[in-house]
Chain A
Amino acid sequence: MSHVPPPISESAALVARDGAALGDAEAPVLDVDRVTKTYPGEPPVKALREASLTIGPGELVGIVGPSGSGKTTLLQLMGTLDRPTSGRVRITGLDVATMADDDVAYLRATRIGFIFQQFFLAEHSTALDNVADGLLYAGIPVGQRRERALDALQLVGLADRPHARPTQLSGGQRQRVAIARALVGRPAIVLADEPTGNLDQATGQSILDLVGQLHQAGSTIVVITHDHAIAERMPRKIEILDGRIVADTRTASPDPS
């Protein structure tokens, strides 16, 4: 490719219309190709050993493994928050290894949504502004950010509380705000790290139901968990142990709920 990079507004418009406008529309959403991650130390820790997986558009995948199995490292690499020691990670066909840090950041801003166990909401901001911040670094003007944040809040069932602060919301509601923030940029893929880890059983269930609905509506979602029962309900379950992918199974029933 040798054309001049489009200005921010244009690229933002492209992303707004179609999350996969840049890169290869035919490519899988996420392609992890023989990825190894070694952390320096004495002795060095091999967190991932030649792990490979491919996730297509619209999939809902549970990645399950005990603590220390390398699942968090895998999430960090899939989310481009870290770079692999060897192997390739491609997001919508774009090879992260060939990209500059700032471009990878833009990739995160436009293609990847994150959901964390601890929510990571800004307590001084309203639910709406927390969600709108999901678009801050994608170069979208503030008016549009708010509009789309309201849409996203509607999607997670919080349309009636846009001006509530996180401290005024329950744990489940907070996680819904965080999910709305992950979805607001219509990312190609959403990565959830133990999304129910800080919630009680019933609330966790409702969050998983929401994840199922979002999957039904077409989102591509990867849920990382240590809980086999949760992964069991996903249409596709990937098991990871000692940095290796040991099983990749698809169940007949695509509906987790």
Chain B
Amino acid sequence: MTATGLPARRRLPASDLTRLATIGLRTRKLRAALSALGIAIGVAAIVAVLGLSASSQAGLLAEINQLGTNLLTATDGQSVTGGVVELPTAAPAMIGRIGGVQQVQSIGIVNGASAYRNPHIPTAETNGLTVQAASVGLLEALATGVAQGHYLNAATAREPVAVLGATTARLLGIDRIYPGERIWVGTQWFYVTGILNPAVLASDIDTSVLVGYPAAEKYLSFDGHPSTVYLRAQNERVDAVDNLLAGTANPEDPSGVNISQPSAALVAQADAKGAFDGLFLGLGAVALLVGAVGVANIMIISVLERRSEIGLRRALGATKGHIRTQFLSEAVLLGLLGGVLGVAVGAAATSIYAHTKHWATVIPTDAWAGGIAASLLIGALAGLIPAVRAARLSPTRALWSV
């Protein structure tokens, strides 16, 4: 209560405050746009970096889902003494009898055999390729296919015929299939009938030369032990199958079997890829800082230029608080303008890039909400000093000195 009976607190309604806060923006459009630009660039960079990493992650996850998450693998393990525990020859058939298993395929590493372009290549230059025996239904189980030519079938699996993984073909310098194309495997020629697409769920296939089981036994003295069994389980029974797998694959030594779910590893990789690029985030933060300085600069100039307006408003009855609020609101509005613009640009950039990559566009809520919040905060901080200076300006000096 004041002694005069005048009301103590008088705040302007939001509509009036909005009108006052936009005076600077309306009368000096270019200047407002330029000062908001710094903040816009910073926010755009941050939103785009976060959006791109989230979108690429979403793209990977979508790809993984498309490949199926119900693929399990059982591979040779190690015994307690460090030796390799081979899967029994009967493992694929046994696994096939687990309830819920839909497909069982296998590959077996052919020890002692290497593949070369021709017999004149020194034996040491193996290119790190492995020769593996593969079952004829392998590609369906891995949800991959041939890039060129044909995969093995029941007939060619018995003959000296090879199919090359994607990387293998490149390393051997074979980029297309023509009749009579052949490579030197072990001690004899094998005809090449196909080149595979990259196998996302089983990337070791990419560096393999695949031959049929019967052919491997016949021409490469393969012992018939599978080294990896691939199986597809019904989606809702993947966990149950997983639990039974080791014991079924090698009843004598269940601990000597490695069980894995390739899609799970890929999901973990995708999550790791989602980690954003620190450098670009840092650049965004620097742009935000520069933007803040720009807004503060513009507001200080604005307060100097608008001395007479400030004086007039005081004469019309504005309190110091009214003036402070007006200029602070203007700075916050500039920040918000930059923030909204930045989110729009960042989202557009993300969307365009994601579109070219056929990913779904994902803008994390944290990114755009955080961008807007940061720009509001920056506007408020940048406007604080100018607003306080405007409020402190004495009305007589504002009105009577030029």
Contact = CB atoms under 8 A, between A and B. Distances in A.
Interface in B307-323: 308-309, 311-322
Contact of B308 (A114, A118, A134): A118
B315 A102 contact: no
A148 to B, nearest CB: 14
Given A76-B396, A116-B399, A81 B2 contact: no
Given A101-B319, A116-B399, A106 B394 contact: no
Interface stretch (A56-64, A136-144, A204-212, A235-243): A136-144
A72 B311 CA distance: 15
Contact of B396 (A81, A136, A137, A139): A81
Contact of B1 (A4, A11, A133): A4
A99 interface: yes
Interface string A5-21: 11110010000000000
Given A105-B318, A105-B320, 9 more contacts: A5-B2, A7-B7, A8-B7, A23-B4, A106-B6, A108-B316, A109-B317, A136-B12, A142-B15
Interface string A77-90: 00101100000000
B124 interface: no
A137 B395 CA distance: 15
Contact of A137 (B10, B15, B311, B400): B10
Contacts of A4: 1
Given A8-B10, A138-B317, A120 B1 contact: no
Contacts of A181: 316
A181 B316 CA distance: 9
A5 B5 contact: yes
Contacts of B8: 5, 102-103
Contacts of A6: 5, 7
A169 interface: no
Q: A-B pairs with the 3 shortest C-beta distances?
A: A109-B317, A137-B317, A105-B319
Nearest to B313: A137
A98 interface: yes
Contacts of B120: none
Interface in B276-329: 308-309, 311-322
A108 B320 CA distance: 13
A121 to B, nearest CB: 9
A81 B311 CA distance: 9
A105 B314 CA distance: 7
A253 interface: no
A111 to B, nearest CB: 9
A74 to B, nearest CB: 12
9 contacts: A5-B1, A72-B400, A99-B6, A100-B2, A105-B318, A109-B316, A136-B317, A136-B318, A137-B322
B15 A106 contact: no
A106 B399 contact: no
A82 B5 CA distance: 21
Nearest to B400: A72
A11 B315 contact: no
A120 B5 contact: no
A99 B8 CA distance: 11
Contact of B399 (A81, A98, A100, A142): A81
A94 interface: yes
